Structure 1
Amino acid sequence: MSYTGPGFDPPRPPRSRRRPLTVALAALVPGALLGWAVYAAVGGPGDEEGQAGVSASASASARTPSPSAGSASPSGGPGDGKPDASSPASAPGPSGPLRGKVVVIDPGHNPGNFRHAGEINRQVDIGTNRKECDTTGTSTNDGYTEAEFTLDVAHRMRTLLEKQGATVKLTQDADRPFGPCVDERARIGNKAEADAVVSIHADGSGTGNRGFHVILPGAVNAGAADTRPVVGPSRELGERIAGTFVRVTGSAPSNYVGGGTGLVTREDLGGLNLSTVPKVFIECGNMRDSKDAALLSSGAWRQKAARGISGGIVSFLRGQGSAH
């Protein structure tokens, strides 16, 4: 979700894929993230929304994937665990531990945003101040876009969570020209009275910056924003997602934000500020680092990412019992 600045590069010609990093990790004490013990074994040569977002420029261009979960996605194809895409909302499964629970998945950045610079640059109220409606997102140096990545992971998560009996809604499924804006993304989760909302992203930080981090809402009470009732449950949701994500994917927490915890608290994101239900963001890795990019571009790894995030949601909702 971080961007490279006003000179955001258009997708570059594909390069050969590199072998992904394999990282083994243990240890989340139930209900709280107390520490990480990371041991890495590198399988290849060489070794956020970040600190400054960028608006779309009229000259930006990118490939536009179809609403299908896997169109134009690297490393796709038979055997990569890729589910079929369907409509943005799903009916609850016939049975399962999450029957009666509502999960909203927010795939960051519509793939059509590149063609609608004026619309997504429009300022919207996020409580603390005003920000752009949305941005284009980032991409790997090979041209695999964040918007493609987030939709693919969202589709995989939807399949997994439906099997647990949950009702799953997507804020967008490449089924609209652009957006929704960040304020509307928050309203979708609020209107659904979601038990949990997760916004899926990939970062665009500098080379050598690696790993994932989960963004938690800070305590905001300004204008239309009042996160105080959901700060606690959102932190629990984020901690559980971080714990399962590191265990399932083998990816380490970010080495550039969060102090090695994989958790970052922010008060400047409209999607969190305006939420009245438990919500977090996850930056699954850094698209601008070649090794993280190799993971994010892998269909098999995206399935692990979907399992890790979904597993954290399941753990959180089962721990909530009949709450919400």
Structure 2
Amino acid sequence: MSAPRRVLVTLAAGLVLVACSAGGVAAPASSAPVPVATTSAPLAPTPPAPALTGRTVVLDPGHNGRNGSGAARAEVTRQVPDGRGGTKACNTTGTSTNAGYPEHAFAWDLARRVQTRLEAAGARVVLTRPSDDGVGPCVDVRGRAGQEAGADLMVSLHADGSAAPNHGFHVAYSSPPLNPSQAGPAVTLATDLRDGLVAGGFPVSDYIGRDGLSPRPDLAGLNLATVPAALVECGNMRNADEAAVLSSPEGRDRYAAAIAHGIERFLS
């Protein structure tokens, strides 16, 4: 064997010795990869459901935009059940400020603002009318809207038209009660709405009711309700100071926040 060949054999033998284990067994050509330790990030906690998830609220914006049209007169004036064995007009046109801002427009805008707040809190909100350019519905239909929607409560939204010096809001409920919901829960709802409005900086009425609450036997929309129901007269549109608040988007947003707070308080 020549010298170069001996060098190659020697190198090959050395490689075999290095590749052998202590027991004389050669290591395999490839081996399983060494596991790499990893740390999993902790799972983020599931955020709580919004406070009103699973709740349904009916909002009843008073009157409607075409109630005052001549074509609607027959429908608006026809008699419907009042919930106490009598009848009353299907609906009315509502009032307005001295500057001409109508109650129906106020009620519609306010309802949409309250709806936005309640839906953000997880509630399902049903309105008794789909827009502000229709007629009705009649007060007996509105009164049954809460139970037909499977609602937890119903709130009717209005503004009053009284003598100019009078001011303040009041919340009406059906009295004497006609069913268990009216006997207790409706009064609690009215009280929570009153407290929400007071907390929002609104004064209670100085001309009707007591401490912002007004028990009424004559409101069909409340008499026919079998879910807790209340009607909010947010202020007097004939009072110049209150008319300015009722007519402004900022004022209506304040009312919406206060009413939504009262509803959330009742549902909690």
TM-superposition CA deviations, 1:103-136 (whole Å, max 9, x none): 0000000111111111100000112210000000
Aligned to 1:254: 205
Distance of 1:96 and 1:232 partners within structure 2: 27
Counterparts of 1:2-13 in structure 2 under 5 Å? none
Partner of residue 236, structure 2: 286
Within 5 A, what are the aligned runs for 1:243-322? 243-248=195-200, 250-259=201-210, 261-318=211-268
CA displacement at 1:95 relative to structure 2 = 3.5
What is the CA-CA distance between 1:175 and the residue it aligns to?
6.4
Aligned partner of 2:79: which letter?
Q
- Which one of the candidate residues 147, 156, 162 is aligned to 1:205? 162
| Paired residues of 1:109 and 1:147 also in contact (CA < 8 A) | yes
- Indicate the residue corresponding to 2:189 in structure 1: 237
1:179-190 aligned within 5 A = 179-190=136-147
Report 1 or 2 for greater relative contact order, CA contacts < 8 Å, sequence distance ≥ 6.
1
Q: How does 1:11-50 map to 2 (within 5 A)?
A: none
**Are the aligned partners of 1:98 and 1:164 in contact in 2 as well (CA < 8 Å)?**
yes
Secondary structure at 2:68's aligned position in 1?
Answer: helix
Residue identity opposite 2:209 in structure 1: G
Q: Are the counterparts in 2 of residues 121 and 134 from structure 1 also a CA contact under 8 Å?
A: yes
The alignment yields a C-alpha RMSD, in angstroms, of: 1.4
What is the TM-score when the length of structure 2 is the normalising length?
Answer: 0.79
**Range 195-204 or range 228-237, more displaced:** 228-237
- The structure with the greater share of residues assigned to helix is 2
Inter-partner Cα distance in structure 1 for 2:56 and 2:136 = 22
Shift, 1:230, TM fit: 2.7
Question: Could you tell me how far apart the structure 2 residues matched to 1:134 and 1:216 are?
Answer: 18
User: Deviation of residue 176 (structure 1)?
Assistant: 6.5
Match of 2:94 in 1: 137
Residues 81 and 88, structure 2, Cα contact 8 Å, conserved in 1: yes
Does the alignment pair 1:108 with 2:62?
A: yes
Q: How many residues align?
A: 218
Aligned residue type for 1:253: V
Q: State the distance in 2 between where 1:227 and 1:109 align.
A: 26
| Residue identity opposite 2:172 in structure 1 | I
Residue number in structure 2 paired with 1:147: 104
Q: Which residue of 2 aligns with 1:26?
A: none
SS of residue paired to 1:143: coil
Aligned to 2:39: none
Matching of residue 96 in structure 1 with residue 47 in structure 2: no
Q: Is there any run of 5+ residues in structure 2 with no aligned partner, and where?
A: 1-47
Alpha-carbon distance between aligned partners in 1 of 2:195 and 2:182, rounded to the nearest angstrom: 20
Match of 2:117 in 1: 160
Q: TM-score, normalised by structure 1?
A: 0.65
* Helix, strand or coil at the partner of 1:201: strand
Structure 1 gap segments, 5+ residues each: 1-93, 221-225, 319-324
